[in-house]
Structure 1
């Protein structure tokens, strides 16, 4: 009998095809695309675009991280300084320069091609994340080929592609989707080196391609998010060395040449930023950001177990199958393939659970290992037949809950039922219901495929229609729209009580963030100036305006919701009428 995480024997019979139900018809599509690597990659690319593009272009900047990254990149483009990282006049040294360079390259290219107002289009800053997400899906497929059949690798790619967490990161101008790409590339190359050693293949002439991918990916990950990528790699290697009582296979990575190549790629910018800022960058990024996460940084503290709890939503629709696969995976834990994937997954997951600062995306680089482990169990038809099978209902529960929240939230915030989203919501619920009702442990593929289709329709409804319609959640976009309609040249703005990064990104780097009194002083200094005063700061603004004899009127008032602070806001846009 073939072991669980090795390739099945040639000619091993597969389940009989039943073309009556939608799951079987979808499975026939997988048979078609799995006929070649080109078809498989093209299929996963198309699925990625279907899942990631809804809302990609028309969701405004999200506070706070996305807007901070985009604004820092915009300042690079404006200043022409591609070494230093700043948000207005403050240095932003929490992360290295990698994602800023990628975003700047996209914006500069769009500007060169003649796209108007390219620097203000947030979707351009999201392009690296989209590329990173799709690249990570394709690399999950490539990595899975070392453990399962080509057909199974397609399923592993689909699980990653449809996961809720990756769908969110693909639409955010941040580091995490690109970091995932580098981690999967490094771990996929490392897997091939390790498994070739386990199989006893020729150690004298190992291929150069795997070490080249590995060390290049490490360099990319370091430039994106510092030494975090090293944690995944080192913990995996150490765990395998302990279990195997040997780490001789590491010489197949050509470590001397590899380290030299990695340093060639990463050192130039680190030397440049040290020359510019001295020790400030390393103090802020390592001490002020990375090490600070061991404490409850930025009110994101949570007890151990949070990631396991969030997993059932963030890894949907693959989470249901992962739960059913868990007993079989544990039984196979000493097989080389399962051992490697568990070494990738478990030590780093434990570290994340122990660290006090917790954000959902931290564990994203571990999800490809879960996807491949799940497919390994699915291919061998060893999914649990116990009470865990009841987890199939989760394929329907998540789209049902998300649909209700989306529609109710839209009605509560906008007083509009968003009828356009309802057909997509209905389709998501129907396919989620199919996934649940059609589930059998021997034909789990058809349920998974129905769940993936459900995820596609859910993405269209939530990201493509509902979120862009929730204008109160994006007050910065409404303010920018109001200021674009003013009749004066070069309007300038000062904000009091609402200091979100999206406001700076959409209204200009020169936007002054101050208090009510400072906004009044700013307004007095010119005619084409506007004070953006949140209701809680209006008293201070009015008192200072009276003291300096400032006459003003309300151009408009914008009511919305500050998602960063979790409270309703009301912002008055004041314009000067002169002084008394």
Structure 2
């Protein structure tokens, strides 16, 4: 009894305001450590691409030329310099090794996971404030207060679910542990879009908690303007970093997503004034243009034709390096990239009710996170589906959107059903009543498909070594993979997960 009271007091102290940051920080560090940093430098460089990036970064240290990337004394204009700069910096800290090559990718993946956690935490905060201020039933007020004390924002499952879905996505784990530019681009793009939404939320003329409150809005306007300006500035800064990571896509893709979203909800005029895009574009130009000018002066048309012509325009309009695929290619990639949770994605997409445009336009901004994630997902998916050259890594930037959609769906549907059954209310939550019976059927079908999918993944894991064969470029890879025991552990993990879901 005494030990229980001591534990209770300890937990209460951790939930005090001054300790609020400790457990989330420890939890996120642990999650990122397992997903991205554990045994990061255990293996040598893989494939033919990672050594190209590693050597180009090393050449910058050797030659002192931080403008033009080189590989074997030949210019390498595939990507802008940011990934090489970061690798060169980590070389000076941890040495020229596989750990130094991959550290920028691991840090980038961790940063994206952390900002996703914060965004969902901010969503929970706004939702709870809305419930506190606008629930008129005293009994509901009491229930809300009880929930808030028992399950504080610190331990709310939604931010943790979203962060875990991102960090433990197979594709995030794979590319977060490889020294190429894809994860850095994903982090810059994903973090930029999250920063936009946070700025958008803080600028809500209805107030971040819900509907207009004339008594509070005058007092909070100045504070919200400062906060939203910070997030919008961070949005522009991250876009600039994305441009220095992979070129024009760093501006085109977030511009397409944000533009489509604000036009759909009918707030583009107001958001235009809030964001001050002319100043933002000037800031982006100030950060990115110097390198593009210097590398053009040093290399002339060779850079312009290779980088903009071949690696950007031709990759979008033609098949480059034999990387062609059918139109349905990314449906399969998304299914595998977010496995096993991708099975729930179709239901989560329908759960947004995106076709109810008028209803979405009337919602306070914090409630529009689900719609924003949908536009993020569809914008990224459509853009790269249209692209003629297709690679699995191209759509990594949509993984945070998938995670947010699935986490919100679970939070709003599955957890509500569980809560109702535990309280013994005997009432079916409105979210699953009448018009959403079809949605419930889809959810049950998704559970069955998820179990089947996990069993297929387990089977594929056990037989991976047999299917790989002998690649002349990596003659020892199949044997090394089998000896590592990784495929056996993966297969057992999929089987265990399928068993848990079945039970």
TM-score range, shorter chain: 0.7 to 0.9
Q: Are residues 134 and 253 of structure 1, via their aligned partners in 2, closer, same or farther at CA, if it must alter by over 3 Å?
A: same
How far, CA to CA, are the matches of 2:158 and 2:481 in structure 1? Answer: 43
Aligned ranges for residues 47-196 of structure 1 at < 5 Å?
47-110=31-94, 118-119=95-96, 121-148=97-124, 150-196=156-202
How far, CA to CA, are the matches of 2:162 and 2:481 in structure 1? Answer: 39
Spell out, residue by residue over 1:488-516, the C-alpha distance to the aligned partner (whole angstroms, 9 max, x if none). xxxxxxxxxxxxxxxxxxxxxxxxxxxxx
Q: Indicate yes or no: 2:335 matched with 1:312.
A: yes
Q: 1:238: how far off?
A: 2.4
Unaligned residue ranges in structure 1 (runs of 5+): 1-27, 111-117, 439-580
Q: 1:353: how far off?
A: 0.8
Which of the residues 436, 441, 454 maps onto 1:385?
441
Which of the residues 368, 375, 382 maps onto 1:350?
382
How far, CA to CA, are the matches of 2:230 and 2:371 in structure 1? Answer: 23
Q: Is the 8 A contact 2:455 2:495 kept in 1?
A: no
The alignment partner of 1:418 has SS state of helix
Which of the residues 262, 266, 280 maps onto 2:284?
262
Q: Indicate yes or no: 2:426 matched with 1:369.
A: no
Q: 1:200: how far off?
A: 2.7
Which of the residues 225, 240, 260 maps onto 1:206?
225
Q: 1:231: how far off?
A: 2.2
Partner of 1:433: 498
Aligned ranges for residues 136-535 of structure 1 at < 5 Å?
136-148=112-124, 150-201=156-207, 206-207=225-226, 208-247=229-268, 248-293=270-315, 294-330=317-353, 334=357, 335=360, 336-381=368-413, 384-386=440-442, 387-394=445-452, 396-397=454-455, 399-406=457-464, 408=466, 413-414=478-479, 418=483, 424-425=489-490, 427-438=492-503
Determine which structure has the larger strand proportion and give its number.
1
Q: Are residues 185 and 411 of structure 1, via their aligned partners in 2, closer, same or farther at CA, if it must alter by over 3 Å?
A: closer
Q: 1:333: how far off?
A: 6.0
Q: Which moved more, 1:423-432 or 1:73-82?
A: 423-432
How far, CA to CA, are the matches of 1:298 and 1:129 in structure 2? Answer: 24
Q: 1:308: how far off?
A: 0.9
How far, CA to CA, are the matches of 1:419 and 1:249 in structure 2? Answer: 52
Q: 1:410: how far off?
A: 8.6
How far, CA to CA, are the matches of 1:146 and 1:235 in structure 2? Answer: 24
Q: 1:198: how far off?
A: 4.9
Q: 1:37: how far off?
A: 4.5
Q: 1:426: how far off?
A: 6.7
Structure with max Cα Rg: 1
Number of residue pairs matched by the alignment: 401
The alignment yields a C-alpha RMSD, in angstroms, of 3.1
What TM-score, normalized to structure 2?
A: 0.72
How far, CA to CA, are the matches of 1:172 and 1:420 in structure 2? Answer: 20
How far, CA to CA, are the matches of 2:485 and 2:377 in structure 1? Answer: 41
Q: Are residues 78 and 416 of structure 1, via their aligned partners in 2, closer, same or farther at CA, if it must alter by over 3 Å?
A: closer
Q: 1:251: how far off?
A: 2.2
The alignment partner of 1:127 has SS state of helix
Q: Are residues 378 and 81 of structure 1, via their aligned partners in 2, closer, same or farther at CA, if it must alter by over 3 Å?
A: same
Determine which structure has the larger helix proportion and give its number.
2
Q: Is the 8 A contact 2:119 2:194 kept in 1?
A: yes
Q: Which moved more, 1:395-404 or 1:123-132?
A: 395-404
Spell out, residue by residue over 1:345-394, the C-alpha distance to the aligned partner (whole angstroms, 9 max, x if none). 21231121111111111111111111111111111116743323312305
Q: 1:276: how far off?
A: 1.1
Q: 1:126: how far off?
A: 0.8
Q: 1:401: how far off?
A: 3.0
Q: Is the 8 A contact 2:60 2:66 kept in 1?
A: yes
Q: Is the 8 A contact 1:66 1:173 kept in 2?
A: yes
What TM-score, normalized to structure 1?
A: 0.63
The alignment partner of 1:385 has SS state of helix
How far, CA to CA, are the matches of 1:292 and 1:415 in structure 2? Answer: 37
Q: Are residues 39 and 320 of structure 1, via their aligned partners in 2, closer, same or farther at CA, if it must alter by over 3 Å?
A: farther
